[in-house]
């Protein structure tokens, strides 16, 4: 009954109630969205570097080396001789290696030359057809097949470089397989053999510069390395960086550093969101305080009909908490809708593999903090209403 009274008091001024809920929804929704985005990004970055202790490639930016060769989000730093790969895989500190060679692109999806160890590492499963066996055969990631509409037996000419352009190779690739979606970088890659990458670039004149591709018939782009023992953590990167023309970068270290840089922006947005929530709490307090002045006679009459001080206190507190609950619900819903919109707008299918709709532990902390703030916003008006002198109010 008391809850119904609180609800009726709120809808008595619908526009004012709507504005308060909207402000609170924007604040909580932004925090919900930041929590969700940060969690999704960290999960994606973490699962794609799992099992990769070191990335070895041409000298340049270590972060660029990781982003280009693990996440395929940047241009490679250059190329390294295939001989260096053979030397490195025989190193006693190395347990396993995966060679990577960039081989242009098709419709902005990258063509990556590698071997079957890359498929094993990312636990690839075939959905249709088979894995590539011969040169110029390709196996498509799930997203590539879906977006481009390619089927088993289709052929295509790759674009020169890592972006779509008018310069196409004459040699055609043939689709022989399509992978199951697994929510990793495989989904948006076109996979083929390293010799295919070498042979297709034999078409180019030797003096044609292109730092983003494996220019030489015996060059690759990078090597993914797994350590044999803990001693390799200290010795191998130093050995590679000081004794070869290559550089070694730790994915775990570089991604941690990247998150630290991103954290500054996330923290700023979080403070803005909490500012909106604080403004909303002040608005709730002002609204209830003003409502108390307008409803003094009404409260006094309710008291004369037998309502206790605690019941009056509860009515005002419940009004404040109902506003917060409505704001949290709308904010949570908005955050999921915005995330879904961004996912479709950015064409990032990796997020589809992770359950993002359910609240997390951090979300519950936000809900708890918001409810406490709502309680505090309604406490003073509720306390004053419960302590109101009935005789004095009715006499006035």
Q: What is the mean pLDDT of the chain?
A: 81
Closest CA to 318 of 362, 371, 241, 246: 371
Q: Give 327-341 pLDDT, tens digit per residue.
A: 899 989 998 888 888
Evaluate whether residue 260 is within a structural domain: no
Q: Are residues 205 and 278 in the same domain?
A: no
Q: Are residues 75 and 37 in the same domain?
A: no
Q: Are residues 6 and 139 in the same domain?
A: no
Residue 107 lies in domain: 54-249
Q: Give 151-160 pLDDT, tens digit per residue.
A: 999 988 888 7
Q: What is the share, in percent, of the chain residues with pLDDT greater than 70? A: 80
Tell me the average pLDDT across 355-383: 80
The pLDDT value given to residue 218: 84
Which of 249, 281, 306 is the C-terminal boundary of a domain? 249
Q: Is the pTM of this model over 0.85?
A: no
Q: How far is Cα 189 from Cα 109, in angstroms, rounded to an integer? A: 6
Evaluate whether residue 254 is within a structural domain: no
Q: Give 22-47 pLDDT, tens digit per residue.
A: 888 888 888 888 888 878 777 778 88
The pLDDT value given to residue 351: 45
Tokens of 257: 């550093």
> Who contacts 264 (Cβ-Cβ below 8 Å, separation ≥6)?
none
Evaluate whether residue 190 is within a structural domain: yes
Q: Where are the beta strands (DSSP E) in the chain?
A: 54-58, 80-81, 94-106, 109-114, 126-129, 137-140, 155-159, 168-179, 189-193, 219-220, 222-227, 246-249
Q: Are residues 37 and 134 in the same domain?
A: no
CB neighbour burial string for 49-70, b if at least 16 within 10 angstroms, e if fewer: beebbbbbbbebebbbbbbbbb
* Residue 210 confidence (pLDDT) above 60: no
Q: Are residues 133 and 242 in the same domain?
A: yes
The pLDDT value given to residue 223: 93
Q: Are residues 155 and 278 in the same domain?
A: no
Evaluated on CA atoms 142, 148, 154, 155, the torsion sign reads: negative
* Residue 132 confidence (pLDDT) above 50: yes
Contact between 91 and 235 (Cβ < 8 Å): no
Q: Are residues 40 and 171 in the same domain?
A: no
Q: Are residues 230 and 305 in the same domain?
A: no
Tell me the average pLDDT across 97-108: 87
Which of 191, 218, 249 is the C-terminal boundary of a domain? 249
Number of domains the chain contains: 2
Cross-strand bridge partners of residue 129:
177
Q: Are residues 201 and 269 in the same domain?
A: no
Evaluate whether residue 327 is within a structural domain: yes
Q: Are residues 15 and 125 in the same domain?
A: no
* Residue 396 confidence (pLDDT) above 70: no
């Amino acid at each position: 009954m008391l809850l119904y009274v609180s609800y009726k008091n709120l809808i008595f001024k619908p526009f004012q109630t709507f504005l308060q809920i909207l402000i609170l929804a924007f604040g909580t929704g932004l925090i919900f969205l930041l929590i969700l985005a940060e969690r999704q990004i960290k999960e994606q970055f973490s699962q794609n570097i799992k099992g990769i202790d070191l990335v070895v490639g041409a000298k340049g930016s270590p972060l660029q080396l990781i982003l280009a060769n693990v996440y395929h989000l940047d241009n490679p730093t250059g190329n390294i001789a295939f001989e260096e790969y053979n030397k490195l895989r025989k190193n006693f500190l190395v347990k396993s290696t995966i060679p990577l060679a960039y081989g242009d692109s098709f419709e902005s999806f990258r063509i990556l030359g590698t071997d079957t160890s890359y498929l094993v590492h990312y636990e690839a499963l075939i959905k249709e057809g088979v894995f590539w066996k011969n040169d110029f055969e390709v196996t498509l990631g799930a997203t590539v097949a879906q977006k481009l509409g390619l089927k088993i037996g289709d052929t295509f000419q790759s674009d020169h470089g890592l972006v779509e352009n008018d310069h196409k190779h004459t040699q055609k690739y043939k689709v022989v397989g399509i992978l199951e979606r697994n929510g990793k970088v495989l989904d948006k890659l076109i996979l083929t053999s390293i010799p295919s990458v070498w042979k297709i670039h034999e078409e180019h004149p030797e003096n044609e510069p292109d730092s983003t591709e494996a220019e030489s018939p015996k060059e690759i782009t990078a090597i993914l390395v797994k350590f044999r023992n803990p001693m390799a953590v200290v010795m191998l990167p130093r050995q590679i960086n000081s004794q070869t023309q290559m550089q070694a970068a730790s994915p775990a270290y570089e991604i941690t550093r990247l998150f630290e840089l991103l954290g500054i922006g996330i923290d700023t947005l979080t403070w803005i969101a909490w500012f909106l929530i604080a403004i909303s709490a002040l608005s709730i307090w002002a609204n209830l305080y003003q409502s108390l002045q307008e409803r003094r006679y009404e409260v006094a009459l309710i008291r004369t009909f037998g309502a206790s001080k605690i019941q009056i206190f509860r009515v005002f507190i419940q009004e404040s908490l109902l506003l917060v609950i409505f704001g949290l619900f709308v904010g949570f819903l908005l955050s999921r809708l915005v995330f879904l919109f961004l996912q479709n707008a950015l064409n990032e299918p990796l997020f589809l593999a992770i359950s993002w709709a359910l609240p997390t532990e951090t979300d519950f902390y936000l809900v708890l903090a918001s409810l406490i703030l709502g309680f505090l916003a309604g406490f003073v008006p509720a306390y004053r209403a419960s302590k109101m002198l009935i005789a004095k109010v009715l006499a006035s």
